[in-house]
Amino acid sequence: MPHAKSVKIKSHAKINLALRITSRRPDGYHNLSTLFQEIGLHDTLEFRPAETFDFFTNYPELAVNADNLCTRAYRRMEQIAPHSQPWRITLEKNIPIGAGLGGGSSNAASVLKFLNQAWRINLSEANLERLARAIGSDVPFYIHGKTQIASGVGEILEPLTLPEEFVILLVLPDINISTAWAYQQFNPRNAKPAYRVDEILRNGRICWEVFENQFEEIVFPVYQRLARLKEQIRQTAALYVGLSGSGAALFGIFRNRKAAREVARQLAGWRTIITTPIK
C-alpha cells in the first residue's frame, strides 16, 4: 500500500440494556441473554503507515500491556495477511475501563474491520465475527454493532430494531468492577430464561418494565453507593435505570435530552455523559 495515509476512526461504547444469566456451562463460563446497544460515547483509533507494527495509547495501563485487545486483533489479521503494510495504532481512550461499557472489545473489533478493508482481506461480517470470538466474548457484537440480542457467552447475535427514540444518561463512578469476580459470585439457582423478542417489544413499544440486570443482585450489596445511585435516578422521569454489564457504569433511559440534563444536574459529584443509541 505505497500511498497509504493515516486514518482516524471512532470506536463506540455499548450498554447492556437488559441482562439475564441463563445457565452455567460445563466449561465454567456462563450463558447469558442480553440486549446490547451501541452508543455515541467513543474512543478514537488512529492508524498510520509504519515500518513495523506499534501500539500507543493515552492510557498507561494499556500502554505497557503487550497483550491488549487491539494488539491481539492486529496479530490475528497479520496471520491472514502476513506481508501487508504495517500500521502504527494510537488509541485515545475516553471509554472508562472496567465500567461494563465494552471499550476494549470495541477497540479490537475496530482494528479487525479496519485491517480487513485496508489489507483487502475482504472477510464477510460472519467470518469477522468468528475471528472476533477468539479475542473476546463481546468483540463479535461490534462487527455489526447497533442493537442486537446476544445469547451463549455473547457470541450468538440477532439484530433488533427498537421502535422508540430515547436518550441515555451515563453515570460513571470511579470504581473498577471485575467481570470475572461478578460471574464467580453468581448462584446458578438464580438463572432465568432467555429474553424473547415479543417480551422486549409489544404493540410497537419497548417494554421497559421487563428489563433487568442480574449482576445488580451481586454488585449492589458490595458497592452500596451504586445501589443508592440507581434508586436516586429511578425516582426521576427515567423510563428505566440499570447497571451496564457487571458495572460500574449506570445508565438512565429518558424520552429526551431535557429530561436527561435535569437529572444530570441533580447528580453533582458524579461524572455524567448524555449520549444516544447508534442505529
Active-site residues: which are they?
A: 14, 138
Q: Cis ω on the peptide bond leading into residue 248 (within 30° of 0)?
A: yes
For residues 171 and 184, give the distance between their C-alpha atoms in angstroms, rounded to a whole number: 25
Tell me how far CA of residue 224 lies from CA of 15, 141, 220, 266, 273, in angstroms: 21, 31, 5, 19, 22
In 3D space, the residue among 266, 201, 214 whose CA is nearest the CA of residue 245 turns out to be 214
In 3D space, the residue among 98, 72, 91, 78 whose CA is nearest the CA of residue 9 turns out to be 91
Residue showing cell 457487571: 246
Q: Which residues contact 58 (CB under 8 A, 6 or more apart)?
A: 91, 92, 93
Q: Which residues contact 28 (CB under 8 A, 6 or more apart)?
A: none
